[in-house]
Amino acid sequence: MNDLSLLAARLRALAPSCGPVRLVAVDGHAGSGKSTFTARLAAALGDAPVLHLDDLATHDSFFTWVDRLREQVLGPLERGQRARYAPYDWTARRFGAPRGLEPAPVVLIEGVGAGRRALRPQLARLLWMDLPAAESWERGRRRDGPALSEFWDGWTAAEAEHFSADPSRRHADTLVRQLPVGYALLDGPETAAGTNHSVTEREHGTAPY
């Protein structure tokens, strides 16, 4: 049995939030484990489409991607159409060839700011990777190495400014905490009181990021 199958079943049962799509955001600090968790959740959902916000951000505008997201992704999904967006190449520093995103029953959007104010009305669920900023950033710096130290200096300042003005955690439906094996899924501040539960990932272990 897939370790995140219970969460996947709950997400599938939600009402559509963006046209026919249940748009589910995975937010959290850089380095908190969003990509790994989202990949596992996508697999539990039968390879649900994933939009990585790193593909919309650029070196010059870490968080000013909302208009591109609405025009290239959310608008088509609302109409039940296949979205097409141009992913940013962080090495070449330019946008690449368009990539498609299908209007599947559940679409995951992953990245810092995925639960921002401008997007929340179109989200069926907001998940927050519950790791403090300092610990997340240290993990990210360790992962990327000293060559990207200057980039991380700029990123952490921009991220802190973003979340100060537009916090996501307080609006999360579910807090996701990484365990030595698997994850604990806890009710978020926006969720009605209920029973917290945990899930494990015994098949693949737990990746550090």
What Cα–Cα distance (Å) separates residue 125 from each residue in 42, 101, 120, 134? Answer: 14, 19, 9, 26
In three-state secondary structure terms, 6 is: helix
Percent of the chain with pLDDT over 90: 78
What does the pLDDT read at residue 148?
A: 87
Q: Which of 25, 49, 30 is nearest to 140 (CA)?
A: 30
Residue 112 gets which letter from DSSP?
T
| Residue 191 in this model has a pLDDT that exceeds 80 | no
What does the pLDDT read at residue 3?
A: 75
How confident is residue 135, by pLDDT bands cut at 50, 70 and 90? very high
Q: Choose between 200 and 130: higher pLDDT.
A: 130
What does the pLDDT read at residue 120?
A: 97
pTM for the predicted model, two decimal places: 0.89
Mean pLDDT of 133-146: 92
Q: Which of 56, 48, 24 is nearest to 172 (CA)?
A: 24
